């Protein structure tokens, strides 16, 4: 689903932020005209889903007007607002329209302060219990450190009788770290992740992974069996906790400048202007050609080299950002060979 980034500004400063190439580095907001252009681009092939992201999208000075425009636009099927939940109060009437879903990224009171945490909980209370948005709100938590105490999200979910949570496994900041093996990264974090899953299981909470899914090969047979029993225990038929597909599709995040990136994890790889493409589908195809094809071809480790799941395009070994530099080099080589052939 394509997203429109309304602003680079954020009222928090989360250590794991996926959009850290942009957020709070500049103060640009999208202009209203550019917002309309982005919507037109996304919907010109027919009714479509879209997301609003930031920074913190609610900080955009025209946010109310943007929400009303979306409510009135019949070509937008549904819109998901990705928010930290702090500044929702002025927009309760618009947000509770059936057009919207909310993904509220939650942080602990120790990280953001008790007062802010209480404000978020109050906004959730209004939306869930007074505006009946229960089925259109998902909470999310970012698992960014093995030391992270997730009691806060469990308590929040329990408070609102919610049983699903989006679990984002954050990745290293690829712009500053050396090349890392993703399989080694997942193996290293596996025990902490397993402990977290056990706590969720004890509290009748079944998470689903955001885009960065652990490859199935990191689990032992015993661990796989435990995860399957966990899902069976809560009657969950469809889940990405244990699937063999560790892959992602181009998201298409449109920046305030109307440049687009494949996703934030690959934002430094390449930015293109949406005006150079006829549709979102074409833009996604462009990134599939440039990025995803190579991500399957490039093996993360010796096991991946021979692996059926890589060869049959079921597994890129987690986030493609891990392979960003290799993909860049592969593209440079291909471009050089093609230029040489012309
Ligand atoms: S490459 Fe895939 S897993 Fe990584 S940030 Fe982008 S969409 Fe998410
Ligand atoms: S390609 Fe195969 S060996 Fe490599 S991470 Fe995926 S499942 Fe594991």
Q: Quick one: which atom of ligand 2 is closest to the CA of 303? A: 3
Q: How many domains does the chain have?
A: 1
| Domain membership flag for residue 9 | yes
**How far is CA 157 from its chain centroid?**
20
Q: Which of 301, 315, 319, 322 to mutate to test the pocket of ligand 2 (most atoms within 8 A of CB)?
A: 315
Give the domain CATH number at 126.
Answer: 3.20.20.70
| Domain membership flag for residue 29 | yes
| Domain membership flag for residue 71 | yes
The span from the CA of 321 to the CA of 261, in Å, is: 12
Q: Considering the chain, what is the average pLDDT of its residues? A: 93
The span from the CA of 260 to the CA of 292, in Å, is: 16
Average pLDDT on 126-130 reads 97
> Exposure of 293 by Cβ count < 10 A (0-12 exposed, 13-18 middle, 19+ buried)?
middle
pLDDT class of 173 with cuts at 50, 70, 90: confident
What the block records as the tokens of 189 is 């974090």
Tell whether the model's pLDDT for residue 165 goes beyond 80. Answer: yes
Q: Please tell me the predicted confidence (pLDDT) of residue 340.
A: 62
The span from the CA of 240 to the CA of 169, in Å, is: 13
| Domain membership flag for residue 174 | yes
Tell whether the model's pLDDT for residue 125 goes beyond 70. Answer: yes
| Domain membership flag for residue 212 | yes
Domain of 132, in residue numbers:
3-337
pLDDT class of 232 with cuts at 50, 70, 90: very high
Q: Please tell me the predicted confidence (pLDDT) of residue 204.
A: 97
| Domain membership flag for residue 342 | no
Residue of minimum CA distance from atom 5 in ligand 1:
265
Tell whether the model's pLDDT for residue 112 goes beyond 90. Answer: yes
Q: What is the DSSP string of 118-145?
A: HHHHHHHHIIIIIS--GGGEEEEEEE--
Q: Which residues contact 192 (CB under 8 A, 6 or more apart)?
A: 143, 146
| Domain membership flag for residue 281 | yes
| Domain membership flag for residue 186 | yes
Q: Per residue in 38-77, pLDDT tens? A: 999 999 999 999 999 999 999 999 999 999 999 999 999 9
Residue of minimum CA distance from atom 5 in ligand 2:
317
The span from the CA of 277 to the CA of 294, in Å, is: 22
């Amino acid at each position: 689903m394509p997203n429109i980034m309304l602003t680079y500004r954020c009222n928090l400063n989360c250590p794991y932020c996926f959009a850290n190439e942009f957020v709070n580095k500049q103060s640009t907001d999208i202009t209203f005209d550019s917002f309309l252009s982005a919507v037109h681009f996304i919907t010109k092939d027919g009714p479509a889903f879209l997301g609003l992201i930031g920074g913190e999208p609610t900080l955009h000075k025209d946010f109310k007007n943007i929400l009303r425009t979306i409510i009135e636009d019949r070509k937008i099927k549904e819109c998901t607002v990705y928010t930290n939940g702090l500044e929702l109060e002025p927009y309760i009437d618009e947000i509770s329209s059936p057009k919207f879903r909310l993904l509220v990224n939650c942080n602990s009171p120790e990280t953001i302060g008790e007062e802010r945490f209480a404000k978020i909980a109050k906004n959730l209370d209004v939306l869930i219990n007074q505006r009946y948005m229960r089925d259109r709100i998902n909470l999310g938590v970012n698992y960014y450190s093995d030391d992270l105490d997730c009691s806060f999200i469990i308590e929040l979910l329990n408070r609102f009788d919610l049983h699903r949570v989006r679990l984002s496994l954050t990745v290293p900041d690829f712009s500053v770290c050396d090349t890392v093996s993703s399989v080694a990264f997942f193996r290293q974090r596996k025990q902490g992740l397993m402990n977290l899953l056990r706590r969720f299981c004890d509290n009748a909470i079944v998470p689903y992974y955001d885009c960065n899914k652990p490859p199935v090969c990191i689990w032992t047979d015993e661990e796989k069996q435990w995860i399957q029993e966990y899902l069976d225990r809560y009657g969950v038929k469809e889940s990405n906790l244990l699937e063999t597909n560790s892959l992602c599709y181009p998201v298409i995040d449109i920046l305030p400048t109307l440049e687009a990136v494949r996703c934030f994890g690959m934002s430094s790889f390449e930015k293109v202007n949406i005006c150079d493409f006829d549709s979102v589908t074409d833009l996604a195809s462009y990134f599939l050609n440039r990025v995803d094809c190579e991500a399957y071809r490039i093996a993360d480790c010796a096991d991946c080299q021979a692996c059926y799941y890589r060869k049959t395009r079921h597994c890129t070994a987690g986030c493609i950002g891990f392979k960003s530099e290799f993909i860049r080099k592969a593209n440079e080589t291909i471009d050089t060979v093609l230029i040489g052939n012309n």
